[in-house]
C-alpha cells in the first residue's frame, strides 16, 4: 500500500496525462460509435473510459470534469442498456461534452484547476437523458426530475442519480479504501486561498531537502498504513494495551518528524490525536465507535496532508471538522460507557447511528464511490516512480551468492575446454563436462528464482487496506462483518500485486454488499448475526490462488438468469440450458448488477466487469462457487509473475507454440463421440461441459501439407470465466520461459502474447489465451 502511495507522485500531472489519453480515446471511439451504434463492446468501452475519467476526477476533486463525465456516463449507460438509441442530436451533445472535457483537462494542465463553467453542457446532457424531445426545456429540470421516464425501468438507477444530483458536491466522492473522504472537497476550494498553512515556504522543496522529504514521506506512509490497520484492530480488541501503545507510538513518531520538518498542520493534528490516544491508554477514556471514527478520520486527514506534501502543496487545509471530532471525543467523557467490555462483543453496535460523524453532504454522495473505485488505484500504474522496487538485502546477498557460483562453474568450464585440446582421456573429460553442465543448470535455475524474488512483494501490501474498507462499508450498510485475512505473506510479482488490488476491492465490496445479509435476516436464517468474509491467498505450484469467501446468502442462479434476461444480456432459450456455474458467471457481464437498491457499494455493474478485465489481463482464471443460503466463494488463480511463464509446448504441423500453463485446465485425447457441432461450430463435450473447439492450425494459419487432420489432442484453456478447447497435433512437454515482447515494430499481434527463446535457441511464440477465447466467442 505504501507502494501505491509512493507511486502517486505528482498526482495531478499524472491525472492530466491519463485524462488526455482518455479524452483522446473517447473522441475516437465516439466517432466510431456514430458509425456503429449497435456495437455493444464499443459502448462498454466508451462507458468504461468515461467512468474511469469520472473516477479519477472525483478522486482529485475536479468537480467540472466529474459532473460532466458523470452525465455522459449516464447517457452512455442508457445507450448501453438499450433504453435509448443513439441519434445524431444526442451524438452532437456527447461530442460537445467531449470538447468541454478536453478544455477542462487543458485548464487543469495549465493552472492545476478548472476554470470554465460546464453547467450548460451538463444540462444539455441532462436533457438528452430525459428524452431528446425535451432537449430545449432541459435546463429547468436539472436538479429534480432526474431520470424522468427511465425511473420505473430501473429504480436503482433513478435512486442513484437523484441522490448524486441532490448533492452537487460530486467532488466529495468518498473513497473508502483510499481514505480520502475529508480532503477531496477541500482541494478546489482552497486553491485560491493564499493563506499559507504551513510555516515552510517553497524552499522546503529545494534539492537538499528533497531527499529528507522523500524519506519522511516514505516513512510516514508506512506508519499511516500501520496506524490505519492497528486502529481497526483496536476496535475489535479495545483492551489490548500493547496495541494501544503501538498506535500511540506511531502517532508520536509522525508528530516528531513532521514538527522537525515544519509541517505544523500535521504536527498539530497528530498532537491532538495523541492526546486522545493517551487518555485511552491511561484508561481515562474507553474505546467507542465514535472515538474510533474520530481517530480514523484523523488518520485519513494525516494521510491527506501527506499527499499534499507530496504534491508540494502547502496551503492550509481546513481541518476544523476533524479536530472538532477529536475534541468532542475527549470531552464527551460522561456519555461514554464506563465498561470497556461493552465494546468488544462486536465491532459494530454503532450501526444505528452510522452517519452522525460525517457531514451530511458527504453522506449523501455515498452513491458515487461504487464506480469511482475502479480508477484511483489504476493511476499509479503509469507513474515513473513506480519503476523502483525495494529489495531485501538478504535477497540481494543470495543473488550475489548464486552469481558467484555461476562464475566458479564458468571457470571450470573454461578449464575443461582447454583440457580438451590434445586430450587423450576424452571420456573422463566428458564426465566432468556433464557435471559442470548439471551444476550450471541448477545454478541458473536458482539464479532465475533469486532475480525473480527481487521483484516479489507480499500480497499483504494489497490486503492491508481491506480491514478498514470492510469496517467502513459494514458500518454504512448497518451490517456486522468480520474480515478474516490469511496468507498475506504470500509473495507475487510486483506487477501482479499492482493489478490485483482493484479486482479485489470489487470482489470484497461485492461480498459485503450483496453477500452478507443484514443482521436481522441472518438471525432469521439461524446464522450468527455477524457475517464473515474470508480473504485468503496461497501458492499452488507456479500460481497464486486468492479466495474471497463469504457466509452470506449465496447466489441464486435463477435470479441471476432472470435479471440477465431482463437486461437483454441473455435469451430465454440460452438461460434454459445454462448451468449454475455459467449463471454465476453472469455477474461478470458488463452492465449486470443485481442489487435491488443501489448503495454506496454497488455501482452500475462496472465493478465485476473490471474484475474480469483485470484478471484476464493477468492471464488469470476466475472460478465461482456458491450455495444458496450458505455463501459464495470466488477463486482467482494468477501467475506469480508476468516476466516468466511456465509454458506447455504444443506442436502444430511443423511449428511449436507455447501455451501459458496457468491458463491450461487439462489436456485430453478426445474420443470421436466427444466431438460434435452446434450451429456449425465445432464443440467438444467434456463431462458435463460443452466447450467451443478451435483448431490451432486454422486460428494461426499454420501451413499444413496433409489435409484435414483428425484431432489427437485437445488442450482445454481458460481465461477468467471462459473456457475453450484447442486442437493441437502433439504435446512437447513443458518449459519455464522468459517472456520477450515481439517489439514495437510488430506491435500487438492478435493471438500472440509474446515470444520466448527455448533451450534449442529458437524463438517460439507464446499464445495469447485472452485473444483465443475471444476468437472462440466470435466464431
- Of 159-167, 475-483, 600-608, 744-752, the window that binds other proteins (rule: CB under 8 A) is 744-752
Q: Name which position in 10, 106, 625, 655 contacts other proteins (CB under 8 A).
A: 655
d(CA 28, CA 34): 10
Q: Which is nearer to other proteins, 470 or 649 (CB)?
A: 649
Instruction: Give yes or no for residue 763 binding other proteins (CB under 8 A).
Output: yes
Cβ of residue 521: shortest distance to other proteins, in angstroms? 54
- CA–CA gap between residue 488 and residue 134 (Å, rounded): 55
Identify the DSSP state of 740: B
241 binds other proteins (CB under 8 A): no
User: Residue 324 or residue 757: which is nearer to other proteins going by CB?
Assistant: 757
Residues facing residue 264 across a β-bridge: none
For residue 259, the tally of other CB atoms under 10 A from its CB is 15
| 143 scored as a contact of other proteins (CB under 8 A) | no
Quote helix, strand, coil % in the chain, to nearest 5.
55, 15, 25
3-state class of 199 per DSSP? coil
Q: Strands, E, within 527-595: which ranges?
A: 531-540, 543-550
Q: How many residues touch other proteins (CB under 8 A)?
A: 23
Q: Cell numbers at residue 381, please? A: 500504474
Q: Which is nearer to other proteins, 379 or 765 (CB)?
A: 765
| Residue with smaller CB distance to other proteins, 525 or 746 | 746
Does residue number 588 form part of the binding site for other proteins (CB under 8 A)? no
Query: Which listed residue (751, 772, 773, 776) binds other proteins by CB under 8 A?
Result: 751
Site string for other proteins, 656-695 (x = CB under 8 A): ----------------------------------------
Q: What are phi and psi of 118, to 5 degrees?
A: -115, 10
Residue (546 or 652) nearer to other proteins, CB: 652
**Rounded Cα distance, 243 and 255, in Å:** 18
Assess contact for 703 and 651: CB atoms under 8 A. no
Sole window of 354-362, 365-373, 576-584, 749-757 interacting with other proteins (rule: CB under 8 A): 749-757
Q: Could you tell me if 666 and 659 are in contact, meaning their C-beta atoms sit under 8 angstroms apart?
A: no
Q: Which of residues 296-325 bind other proteins (CB under 8 A)?
A: none
> Interface with other proteins includes 741 (CB under 8 A)?
yes
Residue number with CB closer to other proteins (21 or 698): 698
The SS3 of residue 638 is strand
Q: Which is nearer to other proteins, 351 or 726 (CB)?
A: 726
Shortest Cβ distance from residue 762 to other proteins (Å)?
A: 6
CB of 744 to other proteins, least distance (A): 6
Sole residue written with cell 461493552: 342
**For other proteins, which residue of 16, 134, 742, 775 counts as binding (CB under 8 A)?**
742
Of 256, 746, 777, 779, the one binding other proteins by CB under 8 A: 746
Least distance from other proteins to the Cβ atom of residue 741, Å? 8
Q: What is the DSSP string of 396-418?
A: HHHHHHHHHHHHHHHHHHHHHHH
Distance CA 519, CA 531 (A): 8
- CA nearest neighbour of 254 among 220, 204, 230: 220
Does 750 engage in binding with other proteins (CB under 8 A)? Answer: yes
- Report the nearest approach of other proteins to the CB of residue 167 (Å): 45
Which of 679, 744, 759, 778 is in the footprint of other proteins by CB under 8 A? 744
Candidates 383, 370, 387; CA nearest to 610 is: 370
Task: State the cell numbers at 278.
Answer: 493517551
- 701 touching other proteins, by CB under 8 A: yes
Measured from the CB atom, the residue of 331 and 745 that comes closer to other proteins is 745
**Least CB distance to other proteins at residue 590 (A):** 26
- The whole-angstrom separation of Cα 640 and Cα 616 is 14
In 3D space, the residue among 15, 132, 27 whose CA is nearest the CA of residue 65 turns out to be 15
Tell me the window of 131-139, 309-317, 710-718, 760-768 that interacts with other proteins (CB under 8 A).
Answer: 760-768
703: its cell numbers: 501451413
**Residue for cell digits 480532503?**
183
Nearest CB to other proteins, comparing residues 440 and 536: 440
Closest CB 78 distance from other proteins, rounded Å: 33
Q: Smallest distance, Å, CB 653 to other proteins?
A: 11
Closest CA to 179 of 464, 538, 504: 464
CA distances from 242 to 228, 230, 246, 281 (A): 16, 11, 6, 9
Decide whether 426 or 749 has the Cβ nearer to other proteins: 749
CB-nearer residue toward other proteins: 414 or 750: 750
Q: Residue 677's Cα: distance from chain center in Å?
A: 39
Element (H, E) at 639: strand 631-639
CB 543 within 8 A of CB 640: yes
292 vs 765, which CB is nearer to other proteins?
765
User: Roughly what angle, to the nearest 10 degrees, separates helices 494-510 and 466-477?
Assistant: 20
Residue 755 as a binder of other proteins (CB under 8 A): the answer is: yes
CB 756 within 8 A of CB 747: no
For other proteins, the closer of residues 47 and 700 by Cβ is 700
Give me the residue label for grid cell 522529504. 213
Q: ∠ CA 603-606-611 to the nearest 5 degrees?
A: 120
- Examine residue 745 and tell whether it contacts other proteins (CB under 8 A): yes
Residues 702-721 touching other proteins, rule: CB under 8 A, are 702
Stretch that binds other proteins, among 315-323, 369-377, 443-451, 763-771 (CB under 8 A): 763-771
Angle at 608 (CA atoms; ends 606, 611), nearest 5 degrees: 110
Q: Does 410 bind other proteins (CB under 8 A)?
A: no
CB atoms within 10 A of CB 336: 16
Smallest distance from other proteins to CB 428, Å = 32
Query: What's the min distance (Å) between Cβ of 656 and other proteins?
Result: 9
**Least gap, CB of 754 to other proteins (angstroms):** 9
Residue selected from 151, 536, 752, 775 as contacting other proteins according to rule CB under 8 A: 752
Residues that bind other proteins (CB under 8 A): 655, 700-702, 740-747, 749-752, 755, 757, 761-765
Amino acid at each position: 500500500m505504501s507502494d501505491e502511495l509512493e507511486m502517486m507522485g505528482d498526482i495531478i500531472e499524472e491525472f492530466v496525462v491519463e485524462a488526455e489519453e482518455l479524452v483522446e480515446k473517447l473522441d475516437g471511439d465516439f466517432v466510431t460509435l456514430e458509425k456503429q451504434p449497435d456495437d455493444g463492446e464499443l459502448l462498454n468501452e466508451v462507458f468504461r473510459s468515461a467512468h474511469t475519467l469520472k473516477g479519477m476526477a472525483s478522486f482529485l476533486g475536479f468537480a467540472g470534469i466529474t459532473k460532466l463525465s458523470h452525465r455522459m456516463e449516464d447517457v452512455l449507460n442508457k445507450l448501453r442498456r438499450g433504453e435509448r438509441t443513439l441519434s445524431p442530436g444526442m451524438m452532437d451533445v456527447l461530442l460537445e461534452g467531449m470538447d468541454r472535457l478536453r478544455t477542462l483537462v487543458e485548464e487543469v494542465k495549465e493552472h492545476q484547476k478548472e476554470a470554465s463553467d460546464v453547467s450548460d453542457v451538463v444540462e444539455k446532457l441532462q436533457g438528452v437523458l430525459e428524452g431528446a424531445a425535451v432537449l430545449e426545456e432541459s435546463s429547468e429540470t436539472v436538479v429534480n426530475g432526474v431520470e424522468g421516464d427511465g425511473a420505473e425501468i430501473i429504480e436503482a438507477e433513478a435512486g442513484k442519480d437523484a441522490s448524486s444530483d441532490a448533492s452537487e458536491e460530486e467532488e466529495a466522492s468518498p473513497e473508502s479504501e483510499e481514505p480520502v473522504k475529508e480532503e477531496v472537497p477541500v482541494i478546489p476550494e482552497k486553491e485560491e486561498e493564499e493563506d499559507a498553512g504551513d510555516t515552510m515556504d517553497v524552499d522546503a522543496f529545494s534539492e537538499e531537502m528533497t531527499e529528507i522529504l522523500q524519506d519522511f514521506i516514505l516513512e510516514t506512509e508506512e506508519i499511516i498504513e500501520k496506524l490505519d490497520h492497528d486502529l481497526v484492530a483496536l476496535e475489535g480488541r479495545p483492551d489490548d494495551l500493547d496495541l494501544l501503545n503501538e498506535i500511540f507510538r506511531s502517532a508520536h513518531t509522525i508528530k516528531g518528524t513532521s514538527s522537525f520538518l515544519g509541517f505544523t498542520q500535521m504536527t498539530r493534528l497528530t498532537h491532538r490525536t495523541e492526546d486522545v490516544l493517551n487518555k485511552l491508554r491511561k484508561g481515562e477514556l474507553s474505546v467507542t465507535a465514535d472515538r474510533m471514527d474520530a481517530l480514523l478520520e484523523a488518520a485519513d486527514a494525516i494521510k491527506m496532508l501527506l499527499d499534499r506534501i507530496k504534491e508540494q502543496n502547502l496551503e492550509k487545509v481546513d481541518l476544523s471538522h476533524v479536530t472538532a471530532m477529536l475534541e468532542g471525543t475527549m470531552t464527551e467523557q460522561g456519555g461514554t460507557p464506563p465498561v470497556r467490555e461493552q465494546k468488544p462483543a462486536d465491532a459494530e453496535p454503532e450501526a444505528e447511528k452510522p452517519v452522525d460523524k460525517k457531514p451530511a453532504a458527504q453522506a449523501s454522495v455515498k452513491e458515487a464511490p461504487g464506480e469511482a473505485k475502479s480508477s484511483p488505484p489504476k493511476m499509479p500504474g503509469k507513474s515513473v516512480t513506480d519503476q523502483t522496487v525495494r529489495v531485501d538485502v538478504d535477497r540481494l546477498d543470495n543473488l550475489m551468492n548464486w552469481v558467484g557460483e555461476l562464475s566458479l562453474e564458468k571457470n571450470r568450464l573454461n578449464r575443461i575446454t582447454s583440457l580438451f585440446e590434445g586430450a587423450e582421456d576424452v571420456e573422463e573429460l566428458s564426465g566432468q563436462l556433464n557435471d559442470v553442465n548439471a551444476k550450471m543448470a541448477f545454478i541458473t535455475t536458482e539464479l532465475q528464482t533469486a532475480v525473480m524474488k527481487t521483484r516479489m512483494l507480499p500480497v499483504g501490501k494489497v490486503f492491508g487496506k481491506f480491514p478498514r474498507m470492510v469496517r467502513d462499508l459494514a458500518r454504512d450498510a448497518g451490517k456486522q462483518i468480520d474480515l478474516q485475512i490469511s496468507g498475506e505473506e504470500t509473495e507475487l510479482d510486483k506487477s501482479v500485486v499492482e493489478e490485483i488490488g482493484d479486482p479485489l476491492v470489487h470482489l470484497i465490496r461485492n461480498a459485503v454488499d450483496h453477500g452478507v445479509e443484514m443482521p436481522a435476516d441472518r438471525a432469521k436464517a439461524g446464522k450468527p448475526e455477524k457475517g464473515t468474509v474470508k480473504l485468503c491467498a496461497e501458492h499452488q505450484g507456479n500460481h497464486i490462488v486468492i479466495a474471497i469467501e463469504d457466509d452470506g446468502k449465496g447466489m441464486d442462479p435463477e435470479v441471476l438468469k432472470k435479471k440477465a434476461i431482463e437486461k437483454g444480456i441473455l435469451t430465454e432459450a440460452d438461460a434454459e440450458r445454462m448451468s449454475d456455474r455459467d449463471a454465476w458467471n453472469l455477474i461478470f457481464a458488463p452492465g449486470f448488477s443485481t442489487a435491488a437498491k443501489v448503495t454506496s457499494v454497488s455501482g452500475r455493474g462496472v465493478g465485476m466487469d473490471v474484475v474480469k478485465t483485470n484478471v484476464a489481463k493477468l492471464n488469470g482464471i476466475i472460478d465461482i462457487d456458491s450455495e444458496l443460503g450458505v455463501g459464495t466463494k470466488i477463486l482467482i488463480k494468477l501467475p506469480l509473475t508476468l516476466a516468466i511463464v511456465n509454458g506447455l509446448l504444443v506442436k502444430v504441423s511443423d511449428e511449436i507454440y507455447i501455451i501459458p500453463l496457468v491458463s491450461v485446465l487439462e489436456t485430453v485425447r478426445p474420443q470421436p463421440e466427444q466431438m460434435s457441432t452446434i450451429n456449425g461450430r465445432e464443440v467438444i463435450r467434456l463431462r458435463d461441459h460443452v466447450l467451443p473447439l478451435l483448431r490451432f492450425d486454422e486460428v494461426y494459419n499454420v501451413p499444413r501439407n496433409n489435409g484435414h487432420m483428425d484431432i489427437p489432442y485437445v488442450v482445454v484453456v481458460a481465461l477468467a470465466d471462459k473456457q475453450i478447447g484447442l486442437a493441437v497435433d502433439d504435446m512437447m512437454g513443458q518449459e519455464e520461459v522468459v517472456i520477450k515482447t515481439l517489439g514495437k515494430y510488430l506491435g500487438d499481434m492478435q493471438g500472440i502474447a509474446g515470444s520466448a527463446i527455448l533451450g534449442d535457441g529458437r524463438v517460439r511464440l507464446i499464445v495469447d489465451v485472452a485473444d483465443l477465447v475471444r476468437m472462440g466467442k466470435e466464431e
